[in-house]
Structure 1
Amino acid sequence: MADIHAEKILILDFGSQTTQLIARRVREARVYCEIHPCTMPLERVKAFNPRGVILSGGPASVYAVDAPKVDPGVFELGAPVLGICYGMQIITHLLGGVVARGEKREYGPAKLSLRQAIGLFGELDQAQPVPVWMSHGDRIEQLPPGFQVLATSENSPVAAMGDPARRIYGVQFHPEVAHTPQGATMLASFVLGECRCQPIWTMHNFAEATIADFKARLGGKKVLCALSGGVDSSVVALLLHKAIGPDLHCIFVDNGLLRAGEVNEVSNVFREVFGVNLVVAKAAELFLSRLAGVVDPEQKRRIIGHTFIEVFEAEAKKIGKVDYLAQGTLYPDVIESVSFRGPSAVIKSHHNVGGLPEHMKMELVEPLRELFKDECREVGRELGLPETIVGRQPFPGPGLAIRIMGEVSGPKLATLRQADGIVLEEMRAAGLYDKVWQSFAVLVPVKTVGVMGDERTYEDVIALRVVDSVDAMTADWTRVPYQVLATISSRIINEVAGVNRVVLDISSKPPATIEWE
């Protein structure tokens, strides 16, 4: 079997907010890539043996005393190099050109005038202006020796440059963002054209290679997997099941905080359809008893996390000695742990339940640690997972408990679960479920006066939260058609006992978060 990592691109990060988007565009061209800090030692760069190198943007100015640099030896590897925004400026600075503060900051849409349709621009029409997205305050005043101008814009006399002999290129704009419509084509031209990579990074190839690797490494070993029914854990479970069959032991903890029908759906799909070795731990009463009287969101999360571990550990002991623990770690988690920017500030505990106790001595298996979320979904489809699981919207580990403001109780869960089910039903009926990032209901801790059947009511409020996002780092509220909102509101008020008002959350992230707790 061919090595799916043989053709690879190295992305060196200078602290840009959009570095992950560069990697996603490269992966879309079916080429494997990894993100590493710009401080990556040259020896490690050589050992990585990239077919090409991309230098990301960043917030600094190259002439600042503490400006991040890259080892100039990167330009002597013989592999093509592409600098984006700050990446282009650092190329200029290190190779003998001049970077200076621009007279006017260029931020937002711009039109690119192509001088030469080479390098990234080989597939573009040189006669037509190219819409791009700019975000910079510095600009190139003097090209490094051997470079030529490839494109200009109104405020950038050097909007793109290149040294075709050494295959080193720079662009002042951001081809990775959606606001540069032909950016994916440009990056594909660099990766497939200049770097001569073969498009072998497909999720079909990934699934085949991963299953073969697990068969060889884990054959005869017991592997434990916490299956939540979410996309990540479901794909992990099915990959391992296809590799080692009955040696995989999955535990699904029913904490009583899940959406309507979720326990039965997950159990049926994995037990009946795929024949996975699955234990469902019924623990709803235990979780609810632990949450009684608790109103603080962080305390809720801690209680749910600790109780999950307790239940999971009890079920694991029944299995006997286990060699490996499978986790659904994704590539963005890996990137964050080695980010050039350092760890992010903690806004609130992560939605997903934390790790297991140290005394559970097992080695980790992380089949998805090279994948982005969209690639994970694609693998799920390759494995035959139903769309109801593969296309499922994100759901927090603490479940409905953090969508109930205040104390969690059985009656409140029943109210929220029914309202949430209506939201999801109507979003699907309107063809919107797969087009938004998340859509759900929140039980607000206030009661309001209403009139139902000519009688005064004093009942609960449900808030609707529907957002658009790419990676959950930022989000904007979705402009759901009024008729859909009207239908959701009418159904909730008429069908969910004890609710007489529905409101819409129109907050963006930031300053708000997607979940209310």
Structure 2
Amino acid sequence: MNESTFPEQKVVVLDFGAQYGQLIARRVRDLGVFSTIAPCDIPAEELADMKPSAIILSGGPASVYAEDAPTIDPAVLELGVPVLGFCYGHQVIAVTLGGRVGHTEKGEYGHADITRCDGGTSKLFGSTPSQQQVWMSHRDAVIQVPEGFRVTSQTAICPVASMECPDRNLYSTQFHPEVRHTPYGQDLLGNFLFNICGLQPNWTMEGIIEDSVRAIQEQVGDSRVILGLSGGVDSSVVAALCARAIGSRLTCVFVNHGLLRKNEPEEVEEVFTKQFDVDFVHVHAEERYAGLLAGVVDPEEKRRIIGTQFWNEFFAVAQDIAEDGRPVQFMAQGTIYPDIIESGARKTGGKASTIKSHHNLIPFPEGVHFDLIEPLDHFFKDEVRALGTALGLPDYIVHRQPFPGPGLAIRIIGDVTPEKLEILKNADAIIREELDAYNAKLFEETGERNSEHSCWQYFAVLPDIKSVGVMGDERTYQRPIILRAVESSDAMTADWAKLPYEVLARVSGRIVAEVPGVNRVLYDITSKPPATIEWE
């Protein structure tokens, strides 16, 4: 979905480098309104061209008085569009319009209690309690509101916990309504969207499918399309959308780079040749990838090599199925919003740093070009799953675990060798078998796929170290396996899964007993952030 296909009703989140920037967009969508992220310094004229129904200013780590502090085009506040600012965005509104921000004696970090002082008339607060708990993260604070504004809440430390100017449709809070730690935060967002902006909760799966299919048809015309298919939920949903849009003019290309999980190539081919009416091409590129990756240890270099070779493999297929001597022009792929954000906000234009490069965002190599079709590039993972269900995809595909395009290459720390691949594939298969059974048992007991203790993603990592052990009264010096299991919904944040000891013991016992070359199993108990879900 590109900007030309955005829904008519949309909220634009201006990103000041916030920890919670993407979360704001998610919370808006949770309320049934489409949202997208744009850089905080976007010119007002360019922002107006996006035809926003509302604008939200995110928080950010800077001080508004710092020399290089991010700010907004002042004309943004004059567009006549309702604006809501959080934390840093609250302070930017104040200083832009003539208010003042200063240091408080104490910072507020974490839970805080606010008291409304609006006399019950604030549309933003609506019927929420006069005293309520919020989540703060600041030391600077607004100490003088701009002309025309009134203070609507305070804390013992913060004199302006929120302010508003209803005549100009400008609202802001020092606290973060978008986080779950602000119990009435979603009520405030709903009040802003529906009572102040007059929007409707019409961001629905049915409407998304119609818009996406229409956009694909308009982009492609009567041309053919190849699709980079991995068998995961993202590319499978794109396949379903493209099949609905262009039918038999779609060719699904599965590139087997030899870095997939145990038995996975056979499973993908089985599903897409026997259960789906699509033109399916299985490219065996195992030897080519093994040669390219030999001796490579840097994870970003691995991603670059794998991503670049993907383009070459797809282009070779495009030439093989060319009509009238012309290679297929269009290629569809399952790029989703977190991919773009973690790769440095290529499309959002935001302030995000590059966390890791995604294989499907690697530039084209020389001599290769496709016009890309990326209908999911503004969707979060749980939205993609909901879309898959609405499209009628089987449950086992919709809820299939995420798997990185570079495959096991980025779950092997150091160089990739046949020996390491064999160890990791076998250990990973045991982990998936045991935790599949654990999740299935929870689902049977609770009836909820994402119950409190279920795992969202789980896999093995092979570090580039060895450790001493003892087996059969003999000393061993072999490799450890790291178990990674997390709870998440959208891949933007994740917590480590609190697995029962008996499950961990069973996984560890089986790996050490059944996988030659392994004598130790470790469990990663780090959340995202500060870690990422993957190790490389």
Query: TM-score, with normalisation over the residues of structure 2?
Result: 0.86
Aligned equivalent of 2:457, options 435, 438, 442: 438
Q: 1:77 to 1:259 in 2, by over 3 A?
A: same
Check whether the contact 2:258–2:285 (CA below 8 A) recurs between aligned residues. Answer: yes
Check whether the contact 2:380–2:490 (CA below 8 A) recurs between aligned residues. Answer: no
Could you report, residue by residue, the CA deviation over 1:457-479 in whole angstroms, capped at 9, with x for unpaired residues?
Answer: 55443221224556656655443
Deviation at 1:298, TM superposition (A): 4.9
Q: 1:39 to 1:326 in 2, by over 3 A?
A: same
- 2:52 is matched with 50
Matched residues in 1 for 2:462 and 2:170: separation?
56
Check whether the contact 2:487–2:494 (CA below 8 A) recurs between aligned residues. Answer: yes
Q: Does 1:325 align with 2:331?
A: yes
Matched residues in 2 for 1:165 and 1:173: separation?
22
Q: Does 1:404 align with 2:412?
A: yes
Aligned equivalent of 2:202, options 196, 200, 204: 200
Q: 1:362 to 1:114 in 2, by over 3 A?
A: same
Deviation at 1:110, TM superposition (A): 0.8
Aligned equivalent of 1:464, options 465, 473, 483: 483
Deviation at 1:244, TM superposition (A): 0.6
- 2:362 is matched with 354
Matched residues in 2 for 1:13 and 1:472: separation?
19
Residues 360-369 or 468-477, more deviating: 468-477
Summarize the alignment of residues 441-456 of structure 1 with structure 2, pairs less than 5 Å apart: 441-452=460-471
Check whether the contact 1:295–1:405 (CA below 8 A) recurs between aligned residues. Answer: yes
- 2:500 is matched with 481
Matched residues in 1 for 2:455 and 2:360: separation?
21
Paired residue secondary structure (2:215) = helix
Aligned equivalent of 2:522, options 497, 503, 507: 503
Query: TM-score, with normalisation over the residues of structure 1?
Result: 0.89
Summarize the alignment of residues 47-446 of structure 1 with structure 2, pairs less than 5 Å apart: 47-116=49-118, 117=120, 118-126=122-130, 129-292=131-294, 294-295=296-297, 297-320=299-322, 321-332=327-338, 333=340, 336-337=345-346, 342=351, 344=353, 349-350=357-358, 354-431=362-439, 435-446=454-465
Deviation at 1:32, TM superposition (A): 1.6
Matched residues in 2 for 1:81 and 1:509: separation?
30
Matched residues in 2 for 1:210 and 1:400: separation?
32
Paired residue secondary structure (1:413) = helix
Paired residue secondary structure (1:44) = helix
Check whether the contact 1:402–1:516 (CA below 8 A) recurs between aligned residues. Answer: yes
- 1:490 is matched with 509
Could you report, residue by residue, the CA deviation over 1:246-266 in whole angstroms, capped at 9, with x for unpaired residues?
Answer: 111111011221112322332
Matched residues in 2 for 1:410 and 1:191: separation?
55
Counterpart amino acid of residue 367 in structure 2: H
Matched residues in 1 for 2:349 and 2:321: separation?
42
**Over the residues paired in the alignment, what is the CA RMSD in angstroms?**
2.9
- 1:515 is matched with 534
Identity %: 52
Deviation at 1:150, TM superposition (A): 1.7
Check whether the contact 1:337–1:343 (CA below 8 A) recurs between aligned residues. Answer: no
Paired residue secondary structure (1:423) = helix
Counterpart amino acid of residue 480 in structure 1: L
Paired residue secondary structure (1:121) = coil
Matched residues in 2 for 1:458 and 1:178: separation?
46
Deviation at 1:290, TM superposition (A): 4.3
Counterpart amino acid of residue 515 in structure 2: V
Counterpart amino acid of residue 328 in structure 1: G
Check whether the contact 1:23–1:35 (CA below 8 A) recurs between aligned residues. Answer: yes
Deviation at 1:399, TM superposition (A): 1.2
Check whether the contact 2:40–2:350 (CA below 8 A) recurs between aligned residues. Answer: no
Check whether the contact 1:351–1:397 (CA below 8 A) recurs between aligned residues. Answer: yes
Matched residues in 2 for 1:301 and 1:105: separation?
41
Matched residues in 2 for 1:215 and 1:299: separation?
36
